[in-house]
Structure 1
Amino acid sequence: MEQIPRWNLDSIYSSLEGEDFEADMKALKTLTEQLKTHISGCQDLRDFNAWFKTTLDLMQTTWDTIDTLGAYAHALLTVDTSDEKAMHGLNKVDEIALDVKAVYVKVLNAFATHKESVRNLINNDESLKRYAFVIEELLEEQRHQMSEAEEALAADLNRSGTDSWSRLQQAVSSSSETIWDEETQERKTVIQLRSMAFDPDRNVREKAFNKELSIWKLHETAFAYALNGVKGTTITLDKKRGYKDPLERSVKQARITDTVLEALIGSIESYLPMFRRYLKAKAKLMGLPKLAFFDLFAPVGLTHQKYSFDAAKEFIIENFSAFHLPLGEFAKMAFEKQWIDAESRVGKVGGAYCTSMPLRKETRVLCNFDHSFDSVSTIAHELGHAYHDKVTSELPALLRNYPMTLAETASIFSQFIIFQGALKHANTDERLSLIEGFLQDSTQVCVDILSRFYFEKDVFEKRVHGDIMADELSRMMVDAQKRSYGDALEETQLHPYMWAVKSHYYSSGLSYYNYPYAFGQLFGLGVYQLSQDYDDFGARYDQLLHTTGMYSAPEVTAKIGCDITTEEFWKKSLDLINTYVDEFCQLCDYKE
């Protein structure tokens, strides 16, 4: 039986108890104290230029250090949520992070005190001009800061408040299990049950779906209090910081504008009939009057080829290299150096992510490989994130800090490369299966994401008036799904507990972590279409990724000729999806 790889973290640190980890922990404390001392002298400056540059250097080195330490401890915890040493290590990093956050508040206050001098220096020093946008962003953030004492208290309370609620959701959802087979007493985790949504047998999918719902039902009270805790805290802090609501803060964090968000959401809403046409065609193909929620991921056509991990590796490297050689070479290196943890096991979190360790200029990818094409696509997606980090790895921390909207560009782009590569060699039945898989993903990233956006907006509006009980959260979730999926799904077989499933809801630092996926999907497809117009697209692509942390999203995208403030831009990507909906309906012999 093939051994699915686990990642190797030795080049990051030897262990949580290793001298190298402890040395960086000490270095972090020293850097924090140095920065604190340095900032305290900002009232009596004889050489402002030197002071400012030293501040930037200290701040960015501090960030890189804490990000590397935190990413390492978090990586260990996510492959074994019962690992007490990893939890302790992460807590130690979080404890120092409180001091870092407190100093960061002081840094922003110092910049605001000397904002005219800061702006003059940025405008006149060639080495600093590239910081112009991010410095203005920091000054804007400072205008939304509470007092230093309040910010310190909020950061401290987050550790035992919202952060703990988030970890509770992660721990329960990764470890909960139920009896699958009464005769054999075989048990399955909720992650395993959710992966069975891809099973070709509808009876298996329905059984897994109902078992999964029973688990969420069992823990619904805990999840409801966790969600209320996170959202309540977010509302309180955002109001105290002068934001109209959490969506205003989210838009600023995403480096977009209300106009961009409205254009994005509006374009998706106008194309909902297209997505519903695909879902109805799939129902016809499956011999069903309508799809249930547990049919969304059902394979159709020829059952997807089962990939060994080695086959997946070679397929990704080959297709990446054919499109952009540096991308293929990077993927090859990531596989060879064991940067990917692909084995699914008890205690490991579900889903997938990519994490960066900036001090080492390395990344790591977590996924749960199940030999399907979807798993291959997921690895490609996460390697896209990793390549993005590689392209920006030589930049200082402030200029590497790209928003969550643009963070999905390289990942979606990489996924589409793999999809196109698979289509080239597919026969008719395989093509049906592949196109349906692409439309599955597109429907999730546009339609389901839209339902999550509706739901979260509704939650914030209702949470202002008090706690929302579990049954009400489930009703709101179903209402949001009805609004997005419309008449394409059976209304009695929706998923009322998606609010418990998705960890994105349980972050006070990133509200509305849903629409950025739709942004990334449609922008990534738009960039792919542009690739056909330039012989030197690879270089242009790398330059695009290189600048994602330096400007607002409209400015970054405008540099390659995209106007994301209009629905017309987004509709071009939706039109690309529509070509595959048309082909799918033709292959299914479906007509409305």
Structure 2
Amino acid sequence: MEQTTSQNWNLDTLYAGGSQSAELKNLIVEIKSVLEELSEGLKAYQEYGQAADNRSFLKLLNQFQYARSGWDELDDFVICLYSQDVQDSEAVVLLDESAVIKAKLDSVQIDLDEALANFPEDRWNEFMEHEEVKAYSFYLEERRNTVKDRLPVEMERLINVLSVNGIKAWEQHQQQLLAKMKVPIGSAGEEQEVSIGQAMNEAMYAEDRSLRQQAAEAIAETCADQAEDFATALNRISGFRLDVYEQRGWHNVLKEAVEQNRIQEESIRALVKSIDDNKDLYRAYFQRKVALTGLEQVSWFDLETPIFASEEKITYSAAKDIIIKQFQQFSEKLGQFAERAFEEGWIETENRSDKAGGGFCASMPLSNESRIFMTYRENYQDIVTLAHEFGHAYHNFILHDEPAFAQQKGTSVAESASTFLENLVLDAAIGHTTNEKEKLALLEVKIKDGLKYVVSVPNMYRFEQEFYARRKNGQLTVEEINNLIKEVESDFYGGIIEGSAPYKWMYISHFYSADKPFFNIPYTIGYLFSNGIYSLAKEATGDFQEKYDELLRNSGRMTVEQLAQNYLDADVTKTDFWDASQQALKEAIEEYLRLTEKYIE
């Protein structure tokens, strides 16, 4: 008898009792206590000035690292609680509690940064030579330099306090609006209300086009009814951010984003130019898809729907076997890690209505574990998503052995590990199939995933840039935001499709991130950077697995430019690297165009 694999995670092994967990509440009390002690300790340290010794400062750093790891674990755990059951009102309360603690953590971070900035140069150089400090010296140097571009510490602390009921409150409000949004789908008499994620799945993947169209229209109608609330949230988040930038004297709205992602703006410009240079081939793929539909008019949901969808249903147990096998072939360490995650209940994949949409990987640095969240619907796209989240979990696994400061990585690098494992799983499936239509189905998965990063995400990046430019002159109306999305999308899709999805700005939550501005483009950076790593892996022999682990381990100690130079011998400020990183996607599209030629003759 075949052993079934559980599709529900186990959160009780972390904090038993969920949102009622006494152990979780003890963690909250402990983090608050450490932050209070740390805050007083930093004040005392600053008062001593030159007389303060390095050993006492090292103690403060260790306390802060514990508090940082504690909050990371608390916040991700509470997100897990809320995502598994959006009706859990206690989880909502805990989310707010976490936001308050984060504000305190950020306030202490400001004090710590000031202490770093006030270090005399001779003592600083001596401190950097301390054996324990060397492991996270990159982070300390980075924070010390960051202070130079900020306001006086009292003003930065005030901004941080006000953000709890300002920008962060608006982010939470959008999350709650989206979680509560219900879309009516189905025929009259059999209509049911589903989450936006389930409605999107129906619009993109229902076999009957009339059902897809009904779902798309229902999404548009539901979004139209609630658009004013989302527009208010988006305007307030961007307005708060622009006000802060103005006070700091920042004229470049990308400044914070490039700092967070440890990448130069020059590298992003090279990336975007490289993508634009390949736009004609990407358009050719969509034009071929339109031709293959046989429809006179197509809309956005037609482009998402597979033409050669695999007829094979892949059980979750089979997905588990595929994941472990492909990971094992690359690295025994990676394969064993995947086995542990499945066996110990780290993964939530059940398809049910009371859970949130989307997918993520939660890091639990105090517990040295991760949790993966998604909805599995027995297709290859979901296996790829599972591999993607496993990439994050494996990256966490490597970093959990490092000091908390050395675990802090930019989103772009964080996405590299996830995309790498996507490629590992999908390319193996494409290479092993002998059935042409099955191969075309898998190629579509690979191409669709790639175009998300080189077409959809860059379009959202352009939308954000223009939105912020206009927002400086005042709030944008729903109609203006919709038109802006249409303008950006028509620049690429013009002449290919008739109807776009003008309300996508409402349900792409990355637009509403309080802590991470321009939170879309890092995914493109990570996707292409990972492709560069993957290309090297296919050609490499010997100890590449160890080098791969080393790259992940140093992701909290280097910029994107440094990682590329050290491990890929590449210059990411030039288009050559980004051109090469798109080569595998271009080859997949060219093969798809060649194989499908006969279907439109």
TM tier, smaller: over 0.9
Aligned to 2:132, the other structure's residue is in SS state coil
Establish whether residue 42 from structure 1 lines up as the match of residue 46 from structure 2: yes
Which piece of structure 1 moves more, 150-159 or 336-345? 150-159
Task: Tell me if 1:563 matches 2:565.
Answer: no
Would the aligned equivalents of 2:237 and 2:512 in 1 still touch at CA under 8 Å?
yes
Q: Which residue of 2 aligns with 1:192?
A: 198
Aligned equivalent of 2:594: 586
User: Which one-letter code corresponds to 2:589 in the other structure?
Assistant: V
Identity of aligned pairs, percent? 28
Query: What amino acid maps onto 1:254 in structure 2?
Result: N
Corresponding pairs, count: 590
From the superposition, tell whether residues 273 and 287 of structure 1 become closer, same or farther in structure 2 (CA, over 3 Å).
same
* Superposition RMSD in Å: 2.0
Match of 1:400 in 2: 407
Q: Which residue of 2 aligns with 1:113?
A: 118
Alignment of 1:372-383 (within 5 A): 372-383=379-390
Corresponding letter in the other structure for 1:295 = D
Structure 1 residue 336 corresponds to structure 2 residue 343? yes
Q: Does the 8 Å contact 2:138/2:558 carry over to 1?
A: yes
Residue aligning to 1:215? 222
Tell me which residue corresponds to 1:247: 254
Deviates more, 1:526-535 or 1:226-235: 526-535
The answer (yes or no) to whether the contact 1:304–1:433 under 8 Å persists in 2 is: no
Q: Is the 8 A contact 1:280 1:290 kept in 2?
A: no
Structure 1 residue 243 displacement after superposition: 2.4
Which residue of structure 2 aligns with residue 544 of structure 1? 551
TM-score by length of 1: 0.95
Measured in 2, the distance between the counterparts of 1:541 and 1:238 equals 37
1:155: Cα distance to partner? Answer: 2.6
Change (3 A) 1:483 1:117: farther
For residue 355 of structure 1, give the secondary structure of its aligned residue in structure 2: strand
Q: Which residue of 1 is the match for residue 24 of structure 2?
A: 21
The aligned counterpart of 2:334 is 327
Q: Deviation per CA, 1:73-102, whole angstroms, max 9, x where unpaired?
A: 121112222311111222223223332222
Segments of 5+ residues of structure 1 without an aligned counterpart are: none
User: Contact 1:174–1:191 (CA<8 Å) still a contact in 2?
Assistant: no
Deviations 1:23-77 (A, max 9, x none): 2222212211221222122332545221231121111011011111222112111
2: CA distance, partners of 1:283 / 1:22 = 54
How many angstroms apart in 2 are the aligned matches of 1:6 and 1:240?
A: 47
Partners of 1:291 and 1:535 lie apart in 2 by 49
Correspondence for 1:279 among 269, 274, 286: 286
Deviation at 1:364, TM superposition (A): 0.7
Q: Tell me if structure 1 keeps the 8 A contact 2:195–2:357.
A: no
2-structure distance, mates of 1:118, 1:379:
48
Match of 1:523 in 2: 529
1:387 and 2:391 matched:
no
Does structure 2 conserve the Cα–Cα contact (< 8 Å) formed by 1:408 and 1:520? Answer: yes
SS for the counterpart of 2:361 is strand
1:117 Cα offset (Å): 4.4
Q: Do the aligned partners of 2:561 and 2:572 also contact (CA within 8 Å) in 1?
A: yes
Change (3 A) 1:113 1:304: farther
State how 1:56-67 maps to structure 2 within 5 Å.
56-67=61-72
* Separation in structure 2 between the aligned mates of residue 267 and residue 188 of structure 1, nearest angstrom: 40
Q: Is the 8 A contact 2:135 2:403 kept in 1?
A: no
Return the letter of the residue paired with 2:452: Q
Deviations 1:135-182, CA, capped at 9 Å, x for gaps = 121012222333444333323332222223222322222332243221
C-alpha contact (below 8 Å) 1:49/1:121 kept by paired residues: no
Residues 117/100 of structure 1: CA separation in 2 closer, same or farther (3 Å cut): farther
Partners of 2:292 and 2:61 lie apart in 1 by 59
1:429 Cα deviation from its structure 2 partner:
1.0
| Residue among 126, 129, 139 paired with 1:124 | 129
Q: 1:440 to 1:56 in 2, by over 3 A?
A: same
Specify the SS of the correspondent of 1:354.
Answer: strand
Deviation at 1:304, TM superposition (A): 4.3
Which is worse superposed, 538-547 or 139-148?
A: 139-148
In structure 2, the residue matched to 1:509 is 515
Give the whole-Å Cα distance in 2 for the aligned partners of 1:200 and 1:110: 61
SS of the counterpart of 1:165? Answer: helix
Please report how far the alpha carbon of residue 4 of structure 1 lies from its aligned counterpart in structure 2 after TM superposition.
6.2
| Deviation readout 1:381-438 (Å, 9 max, x if unpaired) | 0010000010111101110101111010000000001111211321211111100111
For 2:85, the equivalent position in structure 1 comes to 80
Q: What amino acid sits opposite 1:22 in the alignment?
A: K
Match of 2:169 in 1: 164
The 1-side partners of 2:553 and 2:490 are apart by 40
Asked if structure 1 preserves the Cα contact closer than 8 Å seen for 2:178 and 2:196, the reply is yes
For 2:52 and 2:6, the matched residues in 1 are separated by 57
In structure 2, the CA distance between the partners of 1:178 and 1:548, relative to structure 1 (3 Å rule), is closer
**Could you tell me whether the CA contact under 8 Å between 1:39 and 1:107 is conserved in 2?**
yes
Counterpart CA distance in 2 for 1:56 and 1:242 is 30
Contact 2:482–2:502 (Cα < 8 Å) also in 1: yes
Q: Tell me by how many angstroms 1:3 deviates.
A: 8.3
Residues 1:232 and 2:239 are matched in the alignment: yes
TM norm structure 2: 0.94
Is this contact kept in 1: 2:361–2:393, CA < 8 A? yes
What CA distance in whole angstroms lies between the structure 1 residues aligned with 2:207 and 2:122?
65
Counterpart amino acid of residue 384 in structure 1: G
Instruction: Report how far residue 289 of structure 1 moved.
Output: 5.1
User: How far apart in 1 are the matches of 2:360 and 2:16?
Assistant: 22
Compare 293-302 and 41-50 and name the one that shifted more: 41-50
| Structure 2 contact 308–441 (Cα < 8 Å) conserved | yes
Q: 1:508 to 1:241 in 2, by over 3 A?
A: farther
Whole-angstrom distance in 1 between the partners of 2:91 and 2:120: 41
Which stretch of the first structure deviates more once superposed, 217-226 or 186-195? Answer: 186-195
Q: State how 1:403-418 maps to structure 2 within 5 Å.
A: 403-418=410-425
Q: 1:175 to 1:343 in 2, by over 3 A?
A: farther
CA distance in 2, matches of 1:48, 1:288: 74
Amino acid at match of 1:314: D
Change over 3 Å in CA distance of 1:51–1:347 after alignment to 2: same
Deviation at 1:345, TM superposition (A): 2.7
Give 1:187 shift. 3.0
Query: Is 290-299 or 323-332 further displaced after alignment?
Result: 290-299
What is the deviation of 1:190?
A: 2.2
Q: Could you tell me how far apart the structure 2 residues matched to 1:198 and 1:185 are?
A: 18
Return the alpha-carbon distance in structure 1 between the equivalents of residues 427 and 183 of structure 2: 39
Q: Distance in 1 between matches of 2:349 and 2:471?
A: 38
Q: Does 1:500 align with 2:502?
A: no
Would you say 1:71 and 2:73 are equivalent positions?
no
Q: Please state whether the residue corresponding to 2:58 is helix, strand or coil.
A: helix
Give the direction of change, closer, same or farther, for the CA distance of 1:541–1:289 in structure 2 (3 Å limit). farther
Alpha-carbon distance, 1:302 to partner: 4.9
What corresponds to 2:456 in structure 1?
448
CA distance in 2, matches of 1:200, 1:7: 30
SS of the residue 2:254 aligns to: helix
Partners of 2:297 and 2:169 in 1: CA distance: 40
